[in-house]
Structure 1
Amino acid sequence: MSSQKPVTQEFGTVEENAVRLDQDKAEQLVDALNTDLAATEVLYHQLRKHHWTVNGAQYRDLHLFYEEAYEDASEAADHLGERVQALGGVPINRPADFQDRSPVEPEQEDILEVRTMMKNDEEMYGDIIERVREHVELAENLGDYATSELLREQLEELEEYAHEIEHFLAEDSLTKW
């Protein structure tokens, strides 16, 4: 509980919402979306790290790829947080809580070999994709088609980035080692 007053709504609570989704359903979706938000924030920070530290023969392509990827992750996080609010919840918002709540683990702080970084990103994207698919189904089953659509759009973007990373990691390359 916050010691800062006045608190208008405590984290973890779900109030009535203007989209008229039953509170029980909204609570389930707020919980799922906050998990997705936490995972997206962890992904964002890992992508930023890779943007800053990538090097090698494909530096420029990867540097630009990571910049686009982390910007898209930031936008996705914004949409998730706003949807949590629309459903009557409070979006997860403290940096320490992102990592605690996230179903994905950030890699170590060290600068890693580029292929290792990308394999870690591919794994993180895959884990998030699986979770988001589950949450699309949850939203559909609860009759929240707007949340389902939001998550479907994010799922498509996540899959595109995972596929792009798969191409970067391909064994066949024009770059000589």
Structure 2
Amino acid sequence: MSAQKTVRQQADSIEESEALRLDEEKAEQIVDALNTDLANAYVLYHQLKKHHWNVEGAEFLDIHVFLQEAYENLEEGADEIAERAQAIGGVPVAGPTNQEERATIEFEGEDVYDIRTSLANDMEAYGDMIEGMRDHIQLAANLGDPTTEHLLKEVLVKLEEDAHHIEHYLEDDTLVFESSTQ
């Protein structure tokens, strides 16, 4: 642990950015929304990572690879969100406890489920995250912050693509026979 005792900026505070000239009250609302998106991203990231580690079955490799791509997409988007929150004067929520408390999605827990249940849980989390991010895109637009609006739209595209892939994995059409149907 660092011996440094000087706090440069308190968490949940806003320092006005002279360069970006975004009103402090507007920045506060946007940072709050971004921190929710950031927290959601890391809760889902850890859940996808768990599923990546535990996936089994005939489609193991495809799903294992997909889940890695999906959590990497989340981490990339989370990094962009955190950097934007900092750029407009906020402090990105960073600690796992604070992220879990701030998130609007819930981690499914430590138990290991069958892959269909796991992916259904992931799809539910993605859906909740997508809805929240759409609201935050609209908030940024309404508050006159087109840069945050654009950034969130780019992150949303990847979220929707990955959610759509999960939806395909959950379809009942498959080339893999289950032992009970042979």
Same fold (TM over 0.5): yes
Paired residue total: 175
For 1:31, the equivalent position in structure 2 comes to: 32
For 2:11, the equivalent position in structure 1 comes to: 11
How many angstroms does 1:66 deviate by? 0.5
How many angstroms does 1:19 deviate by? 1.1
How many angstroms does 1:55 deviate by? 0.6
- Structure 2 distance, partners of 1:8, 1:169, is 47
TM-score, normalisation: structure 1: 0.97
How many angstroms does 1:28 deviate by? 0.3
Identity %: 54
What secondary structure does 1:121 align onto?
Answer: helix
- Structure 2 distance, partners of 1:43, 1:12, is 22
Task: Write out per-residue CA displacement over residues 66-120 of structure 1, whole angstroms, 9 at most, x where no aligned residue.
Answer: 1101111111111111000001000001111110000000002011101000000
- The alpha-carbon distance between structure 1 residues 154 and 114, as it changes in their structure 2 partners (threshold 3 A), is same
Q: How does 1:77-156 map to 2 (within 5 A)?
A: 77-156=78-157
Structure 1 unaligned runs (5+)?
A: none
- Structure 1 distance, partners of 2:42, 2:157, is 18
What is the CA RMSD across the aligned residues, in angstroms? 1.0
**Runs (4+) off by over 3 Å:** none
- Structure 2 distance, partners of 1:39, 1:101, is 8
How many angstroms does 1:4 deviate by? 6.0
* Higher Rg: 2
TM-score, normalisation: structure 2: 0.94
- Residue identity matched to 2:67: Y
Structure 2 unaligned runs (5+)?
A: none
- Structure 2 distance, partners of 1:53, 1:19, is 44
